[in-house]
Structure 1
Amino acid sequence: MQEAYLVAHKIEENGNFPNNPVLPLMVYKGALRLHPDDGDEVIKKVFAQNGYTNAWVDGIFDYHHYHSNTHEVMGVFCGKADVQFGGDHGVCIELDKGDVIIIPAGVAHKKLNSSDDFTVVGAYPNGADYNMKYGRAGERPEADEEIAKVKNPDSDPVYGSKGHLFECWYNQNCENV
């Protein structure tokens, strides 16, 4: 792993989507140096070594959704995509092979477009089971209460006991926010 370039965004509440005005969305641009012969198990192994399990391999849904009961990490295994975070008026970020995205509980995400081969590996702190929320009327305030109960992870999904997660989420000191 190489030291990644950090892009961080605090994403405020947006009507039907609670998002997370306290914890920033974090993108580690180019964190994973993947060899052409590497399989998705390389990303799963990095995440698992740092306490992020219950992994899956797929794309990102093409509709807004979020998880109110856990944070999520995704590593881009192949391809590229434009992904919107925060709902209809949220920030759009281009994701490329090797990028890692740390999504705080409550932050909506949706794939806008992608290459045909776009694939991510997703996982959750301590192997949490995730729920699915869609920004529908009636989801809140229960979703807000669940988000408030989600604990910060014990480690950074890429760098373990080091990394920007501690600066940004524990010390509230992100330079790009």
Structure 2
Amino acid sequence: MSKADNGRQIPDGAIETFMLPPDGLLPNNQALPVIVYIGALRDHPERTEQIFNDNGWLNSWQNGVFSYHHYHSNAHEVLGVMSGSASLQLGGDAGRTLAVSAGDVLVLPAGTAHKLLHSSAGFRVAGAYPGGTDYNTRRATPDDLAAALPEIAQVPLPDSDPAYGKAGPLLEAWGAGG
């Protein structure tokens, strides 16, 4: 284990990163990987939104995940599972399906498609955006794709990790925070 600047432990081997190729009308992000922190906030999942806010990821909310493919072309997004469990599809129909549960955190770079496949009763996530970006919501349409591609390339890198702060693994994985 190592420690982030906020003193929270970063469990060894509990981080997964992967790239998602474009999937038809869903662009995904061709420069930055998705990052999944497995069980990162399992000790206090009810504090997920506050932890994101404390680390500079703002404009937060609590709810579920839309049951259709969608993405945000002007903002990176973090999703933290506060309660319950779910199966989420990332990257479109040819993408990856992830089983998530309370304490898991997913960092989705701008353009990454995501949707809910199914969830347990009481499934709830907190979402937030670096610096409180006012995000858009795009779907799998030709017009949205045409508008999204130039926007995705312009989204700035965050200066902190939503779960671990200024010294978190996201900054290294995305080459940010220099």
With normalisation by structure 1, the TM-score equals 0.90
Cα deviation, 1:6-61, whole Å, max 9, x if unaligned, reads 011101111101101210011100100335xx7x4x21221111110111000111
Match of 2:73 among 68, 72, 77: 68
The 3-state SS of whatever aligns with 2:157 is coil
Residue type of the alignment partner of 2:26: F
The 3-state SS of whatever aligns with 1:20 is coil
Q: What is the CA–CA distance in structure 1 between the aligned matches of 2:54 and 2:20, rounded to whole Å?
A: 28
Runs ≥4 residues deviating over 3 A: none
The 3-state SS of whatever aligns with 1:87 is coil
- Check 1:33–1:140 CA distance in 2 against 1; reply closer, same or farther (3 A cut): closer
The 3-state SS of whatever aligns with 1:166 is helix
Q: What is the CA–CA distance in structure 2 between the aligned matches of 1:69 and 1:34, rounded to whole Å?
A: 32
Match of 1:13 among 8, 22, 31: 22
Match of 2:42 among 28, 33, 36: 33
Q: What is the CA–CA distance in structure 2 between the aligned matches of 1:13 and 1:55, rounded to whole Å?
A: 27
Match of 1:135 among 140, 145, 150: 140
The 3-state SS of whatever aligns with 2:156 is coil
The 3-state SS of whatever aligns with 1:92 is strand
Q: Is the 8 A contact 1:82 1:95 kept in 2?
A: yes
Shift of 1:140: 2.4
Q: What is the CA–CA distance in structure 2 between the aligned matches of 1:94 and 1:127, rounded to whole Å?
A: 27
- Tell me the matched-pair count: 167
Q: Which residue of 2 aligns with 1:3?
A: 10
Residue 24 (structure 1) aligned with residue 33 (structure 2): yes
The 3-state SS of whatever aligns with 1:54 is strand
Q: Is the 8 A contact 2:37 2:106 kept in 1?
A: yes
Question: Alignment RMSD, CA only?
Answer: 1.4
Shift of 1:162: 1.3
Give aligned-pair identity as a percent: 47
Q: Unaligned 5+ residue runs, structure 2? A: 1-7
Q: Which residue of 2 aligns with 1:175?
A: none
With normalisation by structure 2, the TM-score equals 0.89
Shift of 1:161: 1.2
Cα deviation, 1:102-131, whole Å, max 9, x if unaligned, reads 000000000111101110000110001110
Q: Is the 8 A contact 1:2 1:32 kept in 2?
A: no
